[in-house]
Amino acid sequence: MEEEENLDQSACTAHHRAIRDTMDVLSGKWKIRIIGSLAFGKKRFMELKGNVEGIAAKMLSKELQELELHGLVNRTVLATKPITVEYELTEYGHSLKPIIDEMASWGMLHRERVKNQ
């Protein structure tokens, strides 16, 4: 009984720690939405800016840098004229897809619910 409680305890602690770790990587108002947009394929800076409604260039730039640092996003500069920059999810970035998808489907559920009350 006591052992079971200890197991519960540590499983619970690990759970909380894991959630906190995830939140640290996805912190802020924009990262999840940026990833959600990139989940549909590679995008250029201005495409992303149009896609993630409401974001300012400064923020988009900053958030993309953080995502790159965490290894979730790849940045590629193409030598066009003028230059083009493409962003895409890394393989690791794609591993976030289950979270994104769950959020998307909950959001739809929520919208239905709010509408019907």
Partner DNA sequence: CGGCATCCAATTCGATACTG
Partner DNA sequence: CAGTATCGAATTGGATGCCG
Could you list the residues that contact a second copy (CB under 8 A)?
Answer: 12, 14-23, 25, 27, 29, 32-33, 36-37, 40, 51-53, 92, 95-96, 98-100, 102-111, 113
Q: Contact between 52 and DNA (CB under 7 A)?
A: no
Q: Contact between 32 and DNA (CB under 7 A)?
A: no
Q: List, in order, residues 6 or more apart from 59 with CB less than 8 Å away.
A: 30
Report in angstroms how near the CB of residue 11 gets to a second copy at its nearest. 9
| CA–CA distance, 97 with 36 (Å, rounded to integer) | 8
Which one of a second copy, DNA, none is in contact with 96 (Cβ closer than 5 to 8 A by kind)?
a second copy
Please state the φ and ψ torsions of residue 63, each to the nearest 5 degrees: -65, -40
Number of other residues whose CB lies within 10 A of the CB of residue 39: 15
Which of residues 78 and 92 has its CB atom nearest to a second copy in the complex?
Answer: 92
**CA 112 to each of CA 102, 106, 108, 115: distance values in angstroms, whole numbers, following the listed order:** 16, 10, 6, 5
Which one of DNA, a second copy, none is in contact with 9 (Cβ closer than 5 to 8 A by kind)?
none
